[in-house]
Every structure is written in C-alpha cells, then in structure tokens.
Structure 1
Amino acid sequence: MSAPTPFAALHHRAGEPLLLPNAWDHASAALLAEQGFSAVGTTSLGVAAAAGLPDGVAATRAETLRLARRLGRTGRYLLSVDVENGFSDDPGEVGSLAAELADAGAVGINLEDGRADGTLTPAALHAAKIAAVRSAAPGLFVNARTDTHWLAVPDAGRETDRRLAAYRQAGADGVFVPGLADPAAIAELCATLDVPLNILYSPTGPTVPDLAALGVSRVSLGSLLYRTALAAATATAVAIRAGAPAPDPGTGTPGYAAVQALHHDRPGPVPPAGPPPR
C-alpha cells in the first residue's frame, strides 16, 4: 500500500482533527496560511456569492476552476476544492473536472449529493461520480458528502449509513455529514467507519476538542468565515454612517501594506500594518 499523501495524513492524527478553514478568494486563503493553517478549503457559497451567482445550482464551474488555478500552486498550503455536486450529473464530466483541479494543484475535492431542489442525488449516481473522480485523478482526496441530515430526510441515520457505505465502496477517502451535531450519533458513526469523518463546525454545536474526543478526523468551517466577514463589513459601514465609532476589529486587522503584499505567492511574513501610501 502506498504512503498517504500529505493531505490525507492530516486526517489520521490521533486526537487532532484537521480544522479546515474555507476561503473564497486569494486574500482570504493567503491570510489563513499566514496564521499557520497548512490546508485550506474553498467555500462554494463564498465563491458563488462573490461572483453574484447562486450556490448549489451548478452555476460556478468556471469560477471554481479559476480560483483553484489561482490558489493551487502557491506552495503556501494544501488546497481542497468544494465543487458542489460536481456541476454535472454526468460522471465523465465530473471526472474531467477533477482532473483539471488536480492539474491546477488541488489535493482534495469535496463532492456533495444534495441538490438545489432539496432532494438527494441517487446514491448509485453519486457513487459513480466518486468512482469517476478516483479514476481521472487518483491523487485527489475525495471527501464524499451526504446531505441526509442537512436536508432532514426521513430515517436520516439509516439513509446516511447506506449512502456512506456506497460512497466508500466507490473509492471515497473520507466522508462528510453536515448537519450531524448530536455527540452520541457522531461517536456511533465514527465507530462504524473505516475512513475519516468530516463534521461541519457549528457555533452552537460541539467544540473542536469535543469533536476530537468523539473520533472526528476533520472539521470544516464551511461558509462561516465568509458570512462573518460580510457581517463585519456591513456593521462597520452602518456604524460609520450613524456617526458612531467603527466597531473595534481588534489588532489583527491587516493594514494596507500587508494586504498589498498578499499577491506574492511565496511563504514569509507580511509587512506590519500601516497607513496606505495616499
């Protein structure tokens, strides 16, 4: 058996889940790397919303590829790309997309079975997509997501087990169950899996140390960072308009020079915060 890739190895550290923050552009990914995150994912909502497009309706294939090509070869972090449901129900097309992402430098792919109309892709079809990705891009870590709990389907636990078994058989390297937050259910699922379990972090759910104790191998932040950034920007503008002091963003706010320096695709500290040149 071949040695795991560096990205796969991050899913197999006992008691230390991979905390995967999700970026939506070059600057957000670069700033996360500056904070020591060795792996960064993308958020399909952030990528879509930033482009003025809806999420989850296969509208952002071009934007997703463009961003992957921008982020995938910086050498600053390992990149995993959220591709919704592959932007197609043709497994061959999904496989071709995976090959393009691997060529762009991505090391992982997140592939979901939820559909925009609130239904689930048939398990056999989603398994075929996973197999196509495995064939077209053998080096990609395939994180197979099922939206059984996210969409609150009937008998979600049993349906989750059925789908994850099919996705694992098709070649998934890990599985992702967003919306699953009950500690007992998480622990039970971890005990039955032979691949890493990814859980979507929720501010009202278990903490990362709690999830580690339950056996979770990967914790994704999803669109949380993007939505938080939108809230902070809006709150600042509204406060200034009202004549109030801008909300204190803390000492971590990057200055003009620091953000300007993010175009350099090489590791190293950014310049200290400072005023713009004009």
Structure 2
Amino acid sequence: MNNSPFNTFTKLHQTDAPLILPNAWDAASALICQNTGAQAVGTSSAAVAWSLGYADGGALPVEEHLNAIARIARVTSLPLSVDIEDGYSQNPEQVAELACKMMELGVVGINIEDGNDTPESLGEKISAILKALNGRPLFINARTDVYLNGLASGEQAINMCIERLELYKSAGADCGFVPGLSSVEEARSLAANINLPINIMLLPGIAPISEFFAAGIKRFSTGPALFQSVYGHLSESSKQLTVVNSDSGLFSNVLDYGALNSAFVESI
C-alpha cells in the first residue's frame, strides 16, 4: 500500500519540488506525457470533451467519458487524475457513483468543481463520494471558480476562496484548485491561510512556477493549453497543405513513427 499509485500521487503534493501535472485528453497524449518525464498525468475536461466531439461544460455523456478514461488508464503506468467537472449531476449520490467508477478504472484522483453552483452543494458531493468509497483511496481536488468566474477580486476573492476551501476540506477534500489565480502575492496569502495543498492552472504571462512554489503553491496543471497548442499546430500544418513542397510546416516537430508506434506496443 505504501507504494500504491494513490500514495505516490499524494506524496507528490508534499515534496520540495512542484508537482507539474500535464493535462491529457486521450491515450496518445497521456502516453507522450509519461514518456517525456511527467510524474503523474491529469486530464482536462475541456480537452477530453473536444477530442470526442462535444463542447465543454457538461455536454460530454458520462459513458463516453468513462470509455475515454479507460483507454488512457490502459496505456499509462503513472498516477492518473481525472477532471469530472461538477460530477455531471446535482445529485450527490450520482456524483459519488461516477467517482467510484473512475476509481475502479484505476484513477487515483479527481477534480470536482463548484462552478456556478453553491459551495454547500460541492461539499455535499465530496461527502457523498467519501461515503460511497467506504475507505477506498481517491485523491479529491476541490476546485473553486471564484477567480475563473470573476465572483470577486483582491482581498475579497482571497477570503471567498479560503471560506470555500475550508468547507471542502471539512467535507474531505485533499487539495484545493483555484484556476484563474495569477497573482503571486494573492497565491501567497491563500496558501498561508488554508491547510491544504493548492493547485493553480498555468496561464499566459504569469510569473514563473518557481515564484508560485516559493509562495506556497504545490501543484500546477495545464488545463486545456496542451490540447490548444497541439491543435494550433494542426491548424497551421493544415494550412500548409495548399503549398505543395517538402519543407512546409507539415513536417516540423513530428514524432518519429517507429518510436511512437513502439511506445504503444510496449504499453499493452
């Protein structure tokens, strides 16, 4: 049990180095993250939804999400944490059932958000998840969208985050996720006032990870940025198809076919 993926993932939030968690969306992206040195892999709900042909924001059918996660779990040996948005239900028992299904696929952690709902609702969902798990381990990263939804700013936003994260901690959360937080000073104030590891999402133009880590932030995730970067490259490469020459952007930064194919053979 000491070397279980769950314990490994938990300890990654307690070391003297930041946990940098790339967010994958399918088996290929997860395996590439693993093979380029990631210590654990997360998913982005937006990226998973887009990859399956759905908009972000609760539109992805649960069974399709479960099938996608099963494919990711099959190829990676790293601890896997999955973003389940708000649990795709307002019923705490249904959310708990989904969390248990994710755990049974080999998932060691979940993100679950308050979004536009009440903090009390997320607290109830977290409590229901722990009850349904009945002692089985699952790392719960409770996300509050105070900054992402612009509910407040400055000291008011910090206090609102602290209040919400204290509630989620009392319900059983293991970590607090504050996407949209971009100020090192506000991050320092938040980390100093809440006894939970704090996760932020990497954003364009923010200070280096080292400064946030020194301020007390433990975990850094990419959100949909990797998906957007990859598909941005796809978009530009597709445009180059109208220019028929061998040095077009189509052939820049490509992975070797043999190495890529072998990685999947070895993962089976």
* TM exceeding 0.5: yes
Is it true that 1:131 corresponds to 2:133 in the alignment? Answer: no
Which of 6, 9, 16 matches 1:7? Answer: 9
Cross-structure match for 1:145: 143
Distance in 2, Cα, partners of 1:105 & 1:40? 12
Please provide the CA RMSD for this pair: 2.0
CA shift for structure 1 position 58? 4.4
Distance in 1, Cα, partners of 2:218 & 2:124? 25
Q: 1:261 to 1:162 in 2, by over 3 A?
A: same
Cross-structure match for 1:107: 108
Amino acid at match of 1:218: R
Distance in 2, Cα, partners of 1:130 & 1:74? 28
Please list, as runs of the form range in 1=range in 2, the aligned pairs for 1:101-250 lying within 5 A after superposition.
101-114=102-115, 120-137=116-133, 138-154=136-152, 155-243=156-244, 245-247=247-249
CA shift for structure 1 position 229? 0.5
Q: Which moved more, 1:79-88 or 1:206-215?
A: 206-215
TM-score normalised by L of structure 2: 0.90
Between the aligned residues of both structures, percent identity stands at 34
Q: Which moved more, 1:188-197 or 1:234-243?
A: 234-243
Unaligned runs of at least 5 residues, structure 2:
none
Distance in 2, Cα, partners of 1:75 & 1:231? 25
CA contact (8 A) 1:76 1:265 kept: no
Q: 1:163 to 1:248 in 2, by over 3 A?
A: same
Q: 1:247 to 1:75 in 2, by over 3 A?
A: closer
Amino acid at match of 2:137: G
Residue deviations 1:171-222 (CA, integer Å, cap 9, x gap): 0000000001111000010111211000101131122112211111100001
Residue deviations 1:124-163 (CA, integer Å, cap 9, x gap): 1110111112222341100000001001013423321211
Distance in 1, Cα, partners of 2:259 & 2:64? 26
The runs of at least 4 consecutive aligned structure 1 residues that moved more than 6 Å come to none
CA contact (8 A) 1:11 1:217 kept: yes
TM-score normalised by L of structure 1: 0.87
Distance in 1, Cα, partners of 2:158 & 2:190? 9
CA contact (8 A) 2:191 2:217 kept: yes
Is it true that 1:62 corresponds to 2:67 in the alignment? Answer: no
Distance in 2, Cα, partners of 1:38 & 1:266? 17
CA contact (8 A) 2:34 2:76 kept: no
CA contact (8 A) 1:58 1:86 kept: no
Higher share in helix: 2
Number of paired residues? 259
Distance in 2, Cα, partners of 1:60 & 1:146? 23
CA shift for structure 1 position 243? 4.7
Unaligned runs of at least 5 residues, structure 1:
115-119, 268-278
Q: 1:156 to 1:58 in 2, by over 3 A?
A: farther
CA shift for structure 1 position 68? 1.8
Amino acid at match of 1:44: S
Amino acid at match of 1:260: N
Cross-structure match for 2:254: 253
Q: 1:253 to 1:140 in 2, by over 3 A?
A: same
Cross-structure match for 1:274: none
CA shift for structure 1 position 63? 2.2
